[in-house]
Structure 1
């Protein structure tokens, strides 16, 4: 039996419900994501804002027409590094039923290929300190631990 292909594409509005279901399945992040219908308008508003932000892109990974993963990228230009542009990868999630099937590798590989195509200086991401499996995964893909991250929660 041949393995089905993983397709990565920009998310569409009709993907929002599937993306939210993947985010809500995360029991580590502490983001309080939910599939409760009462919260759907908040997600839809956020999606529409992302669609209007030219340097941010929300993606999905599909297998056999089913959304099985999601991630977001942000391009940021700084004066440091001689005015270079970097890609930040955010909210990398694979549906629990599809973990361990190469979907995460495909999503990150897509980001690296896109960053090379754009001539970016680097690709960076953060990962919750509790996600030790994810840390090993990123290291296997060639990412190096280089910084400490800090957050100041306002809400």
Structure 2
């Protein structure tokens, strides 16, 4: 595990590294691109995330370089007697850093943040084709519990 890893809230100047990481992900299927014409879309999303009291975008940084990222969202529901949950989303480790403990440290950080806020449950989703990621999350203690559905509206 990298001892020199720093996890911090993302800054706008991290966006080029984050966009490059997402665009390099062949399995994600999100249409991410490093095309400069698309950059304003990422800036717009960053501004919305940064303004939300219930969302936080993080980066994992090693020797001054962004090597990973994840986002957390806190939701409160009437179910569970008004319980809150932290959703961990958009977990990505730079391809050359996979297998070095970056992802595990990011997830541990998110779990610690949830516990520190008194949140009793964390949840995440993973693309059905990411079998390695599923094994990774299960090793960290996550249990597959729900079947997810989505609908593209564009």
TM range (shorter): over 0.9
Q: Report the TM-score when normalising by structure 1.
A: 0.97
CA distance in 2, matches of 1:96, 1:3: 15
Aligned to 2:59: 60
> SS at the partner of 1:39?
helix
Question: Which position in structure 1 is the counterpart of 2:104?
Answer: 105
- Rounded to whole Å, the distance in 2 between the matches of 1:124 and 1:18 is 26
Question: Which residue of structure 2 aligns with residue 69 of structure 1?
Answer: 68
> Could you say what secondary structure the match of 1:129 adopts?
coil
The 3-state SS of whatever aligns with 1:35 is: coil
Offset at residue 29 of structure 1 (A): 1.4
Distance in 1 between residues matched to 2:2 and 2:8, nearest whole Å? 19
How far residue 41 of structure 1 moved from its aligned partner, in angstroms, is 0.9
Q: How far has the Cα of 1:117 moved from its partner?
A: 0.7
Q: For residues 112 and 23 of structure 1, what CA distance do their matches in structure 2 show?
A: 23
Q: What is the DSSP-based 3-state SS (H/G/I as helix, E as strand, rest coil) of the residue aligned with 1:86? A: strand
Taking the aligned partners of 1:19 and 1:10, their CA distance within structure 2 comes to 13
Aligned length: 154
Q: Deviations over 1:34-86 (max 9, x none)?
A: 01111111111111111111100100000111000011000000011110110
Corresponding position of 2:143: 144
Runs of 4+ in 1 over 2 A off after TM superposition: none
TM-score (norm. length: structure 2): 0.97
* 2:88 counterpart residue number: 89
Asked whether the 8 Å contact 1:4–1:63 carries over to 2, the reply is: no
CA apart distance, 1:4: 4.4
Q: Which residue of 2 aligns with 1:6?
A: 5
Matched, 1:47 2:24: no
Structure 1: segments with no counterpart, 5+ residues = none
Q: Distance in 1 between matches of 2:106 and 2:70?
A: 7
Instruction: Give 1:3 shift.
Output: 4.9
